Amino acid sequence: MLSTEQAAQLASFSSSPPTPEDVVQFTEQITKGNQNRKSNIFAARVQGLLYSVQQYSSIIDICTGPNQIAALVWGGVKLVILVGVLTLAEFTQLENTNQ
């Protein structure tokens, strides 16, 4: 739950409803402010989840576009590209740690 001050701070990022980027930025600020607390471990896990959701939110936005056929095709292509890039990054990181 957000305190009244935190809710006002989140609302100040933009005049429209918060975007995924706003939420990630907000959680980063909270994490920095609470570095000495035990809840910092939980916040780091939530932040990782938020980064993942942020990556896929643009694909969902595309798939719900006005031209359904084009949106679904482009959303599928973008999903395949994103999964491929993330998989390649993981394999590269794994390869670098083994050397």
**pLDDT at residue 12 is higher than 80:** no
**pLDDT number for residue 7:** 75
Burial of 49 (0-12, 13-18, 19+ CB in 10 A): exposed
The pLDDT of residue 38 is 63
In angstroms, the CA 47 to CA 90 distance is 18
For the record, the structure tokens of 88 come out as: 């390649």
Contact call for residues 6 and 30 (beta carbons, < 8 A): yes
Number of neighbours of residue 50 by Cβ within 10 angstroms: 19
- Which domain does 12 fall in, by range? 4-98
Q: What is the pLDDT of residues 63-99, one digit of tens each?
A: 787 888 888 888 888 888 888 888 888 888 888 887 7
pTM for the full predicted model: 0.48
Q: How many domains does the chain have?
A: 1
